[in-house]
Structure 1
């Protein structure tokens, strides 16, 4: 167990260093040598875990996605315990994709760097596609759940709406990154509410009093 824990800790130490380099200097600054210096370890130790830049980027992207998924799961669990509507929980989950604070901005920059690299790397592109499909699938499931409880009208195409909602959210994220002053948090959340309000038009039977 200690060896596994040490391996995971080293792995996380390296990917966190990659993320910091991307945030401060961009993807071009990420090299094995610079990552080693940023992580406070030897080049040889970094190469023990990762032999190439793409491997470090993939691991960092995977770590960012893991953090996002964990936060969303926590939001859903807390929302269900508090009796929140599906629309409210989905709005909170989607907002985690938007760079509204330093932590989410750092993660957004990693996703942006990964997208740039994936444009010319089939392996990374496959992971990027799988990740996107997974996010759309979770949104579609939320819409299906909304249909089952009455928040969403019958006959709504969940997959089609999920595609539109995720694309809309990614557009907001890009605007928030490029022009943060012009897209403040209240405006972002209001935009998400407006888009979701076009799908979640009803009231959940499970949250109605009595």
Structure 2
């Protein structure tokens, strides 16, 4: 048991080093030697756990997504505890995917580096596809739950709605990262992104949850 825990801890430490290097200097900065130095391990140990650069990036991306999912789970727990409508919980959860602070900008850079690398690697491409599909499935489930409680019209296509919202979030993330100081109509891009996301959710979650009616 202790040996497994040590093994997992080392993998996480190495992934954290990759994450820092990508966030600071991009994917080209990731070499086994630099990762080993940043993590405080030998080159041989890093190669023992991760025999290739793609393996390093895959583990790092998985760790980033685990961190994001943990924050999303917190938002969901808070929403349930506070008896919030599904639309409010969905907004808070989706906002965790947007690069609106230094930490999340680092996460964005890791995930985008991974997606770029996946264009030429079928194994990485499958992980990227599955990750995107999981987000759409979670959104579709939120829409379906909204139908059951009255927040969403019964004839709403959950798959279509989830695809549209996921595409919006993806595009907003790109714009927030590329030009965080941009202003649109006199407003900062972050506040504009919030408004666009709220509008998209409001167009789907048009009703009131029966569970919270008083």
User: Which of these residues, 203, 207, 210, is aligned with residue 208 of structure 2?
Assistant: 203
Per the alignment, residue 168 of structure 1 pairs with 168
Matched, 1:33 2:33: yes
1:121 Cα shift? 0.5
C-alpha deviation, 1:190, in angstroms: 1.4
Q: Counterpart in 2 of 1:140?
A: 140
Q: Which residue of 1 aligns with 2:181?
A: 181
For residues 18 and 166 of structure 1, the distance between their equivalents in structure 2, rounded to whole angstroms, comes to: 27
- Cross-structure match for 1:46: 46
TM-score scaled by length of structure 1:
0.97
Between the two proteins, the alignment pairs up a number of residues equal to 209
CA shift for structure 1 position 78? 1.4
**1:64-90 superposed Cα distances (whole Å, 9 cap, x missing partner):** 111111111121111101101100000
Unaligned runs of 5+ in 2: 183-187
> In structure 1, what is the equivalent of residue 70 of structure 2?
70
Q: Residues 36-115 of structure 1: matches in 2 within 5 Å?
A: 36-115=36-115
Deviation of 1:186 (Å): 2.3
Structure 1's unaligned 5+ residue stretches are none
Q: What value does the CA root-mean-square deviation take over the aligned residues?
A: 0.9
Q: 1:194 aligns with which of 179, 192, 199?
A: 199
2: CA distance, partners of 1:122 / 1:42? 30
Q: SS in structure 2 opposite 1:41?
A: coil
What is the distance in 2 between the residues matched to 1:147 and 1:58? 36
TM-score (norm 2): 0.95
